[in-house]
Amino acid sequence: MSKENHFETQAIRTQMERSQYLEHSTPLHLTSSFVFEDAEDMRASFAEEKERNIYSRFTNPNTSEFVDKICKLEGAEAGYAYATGMSAVFSTFAALLNAGDHVVSCRSVFGSTHSLFTKFLPKWNIETSYFKVNEIDKIESLIQPNTKILYAETPTNPAVDILDLELLGSIAKKHNLLLVIDNCFATPYLQNPIRFGADLVIHSATKLIDGQGRVLGGVTVGKADLIREIYLFSRNTGPALSPFNAWVLSKSLETLSVRVDRHCENALKVAEFLESHENVQLVKYPFLKSHPQYDIAKKQMKKGGNIVAFEIKGGVEAGRQFLNKLQLLSLSANLGDTRSIATHPASTTHSKLNEVDRLEVGISDGLVRVSVGLEHYEDIIADLNQALG
């Protein structure tokens, strides 16, 4: 297919080779392994003298189709698909780092990624130094001779802060670091970190890429030489995406652009409504002019995404009461679903952090995160309105 094809066309028309049945829609290859013609075919395949499927922990037509699509959509050379977003994050670090290496990361990272940095990587003598979202100018002072990876998410979870990808790209280049970006909140449709200098891009496909709350998945894409190391680590350690989930996710990508367009339209309307509500004291949405990094968001994102964070007047208790009054929005741990979801991080996902640590990642007592879904925006707003009382 021509390189010039648009995003929507690549997301639909990037496809595996068809079988003798010439399926129109992508067929599902539920098989753990593949057969060889003879002993020589088997030897040559294991020696990687030919490119072919051997065992679904290594590759499978469905996982390859999903990876090929994400590569095209992100502008990446190669990739590997994982059972979850966290297995993509973990395997990327584990494959590329050696004992004694050092990571510089934004402090505002997903909770399990924070645990990886603070509880698990130190077991292998890999330390992480953090900078806060508004401290990009401090990054250079954190870099050590053994620093290998510069890591960030943008927009961040749950406070939807934005980091300047171009600036991160130039710092990584200057200091010869690998820039790894978790692009989960933006999806490849809204933002392509590789354009700004990222070496690797990670997604939790569980979120907007599936978009319908059905399956877990993850993927890492980027430079071919890095992916080769990541692939060899992963094919031996076993975090592979299942062919069935890959089939679901590849089909989901066919509708990613239309879904995300509507998610963003709804989210902007929800953000504008919340900004006008008397019981709300702060609304964070990347494409609201009041967002502290609005100009950066406009520079690097196509639209603002589907996550709106806002602060209810009245702190933790007001947050709890608000959640209890919701009728349409779900209380659930996921995000990026067709169904709108509300969470109150201070009393749930981040309740184990002390107040100082919570505030460091932008989680005030009254912060609510809404993953705006695809229901009619008037119904979403009506539910928020009655719950805000």
Ligand X SMILES: Cc1ncc(COP(=O)(O)O)c(C=O)c1O
Which spans of this chain sit near ligand X (rule: CB under 6 A)? 84-86, 110, 153, 157, 182, 184, 204, 206, 216, 218
Which has the closest alpha carbon to 181: 153, 220, 158? 153
Contact 156, 133 (CB under 8 A): yes
Q: Which is nearer to ligand X, 191 or 206 (CB)?
A: 206
In whole angstroms, the minimum distance from the beta carbon of 106 to ligand X comes to 11
In whole angstroms, the minimum distance from the beta carbon of 158 to ligand X comes to 8
Q: What region, left, alpha or beta, does residue 211 occupy, with left being phi > 0 and alpha being psi -120 to 50 degrees? A: left
In whole angstroms, the minimum distance from the beta carbon of 82 to ligand X comes to 8
In whole angstroms, the minimum distance from the beta carbon of 361 to ligand X comes to 12
Q: Which is nearer to ligand X, 143 or 182 (CB)?
A: 182
In whole angstroms, the minimum distance from the beta carbon of 217 to ligand X comes to 7
Token pair recorded at residue 137 = 């100018």
In whole angstroms, the minimum distance from the beta carbon of 209 to ligand X comes to 10
In whole angstroms, the minimum distance from the beta carbon of 193 to ligand X comes to 13
| CA pair distance 123, 256, nearest whole angstrom | 39
Token pair recorded at residue 247 = 């089939």
Give whole-number Cα distances, 151 to 61, 85, 356, in Å: 31, 15, 22
Token pair recorded at residue 106 = 């934004």
Contact 310, 280 (CB under 8 A): yes
Residues 6 or more apart whose CB falls under 8 angstroms from that of 360 comprise: 107, 132
Q: Which is nearer to ligand X, 62 or 220 (CB)?
A: 220
Q: Which is nearer to ligand X, 182 or 365 (CB)?
A: 182
Q: Which is nearer to ligand X, 89 or 388 (CB)?
A: 89
* Residue whose structure tokens are 């997903």: 110
Q: Which is nearer to ligand X, 157 or 266 (CB)?
A: 157
In the three-class reduction of DSSP (H, G, I as helix; E, B as strand; rest coil), residue 170 is classed as helix
Q: Which is nearer to ligand X, 346 or 388 (CB)?
A: 346
Contact 372, 266 (CB under 8 A): yes
DSSP 356: H
Within 13 A of 279's CA, how many CA atoms are on the CB side? 15
Q: Which is nearer to ligand X, 206 or 364 (CB)?
A: 206
In whole angstroms, the minimum distance from the beta carbon of 160 to ligand X comes to 11
Name the H helices within 155-223: 165-174, 187-190
| CA pair distance 133, 174, nearest whole angstrom | 20
In whole angstroms, the minimum distance from the beta carbon of 298 to ligand X comes to 21
| CA pair distance 344, 324, nearest whole angstrom | 11
Which has the closest alpha carbon to 246: 46, 386, 41, 56? 56
Contact 280, 249 (CB under 8 A): no
Closest residue to ligand X using C-beta atoms: 85
Q: Which is nearer to ligand X, 277 or 339 (CB)?
A: 339
Contact 156, 367 (CB under 8 A): no
Q: Which is nearer to ligand X, 182 or 199 (CB)?
A: 182
In whole angstroms, the minimum distance from the beta carbon of 151 to ligand X comes to 11
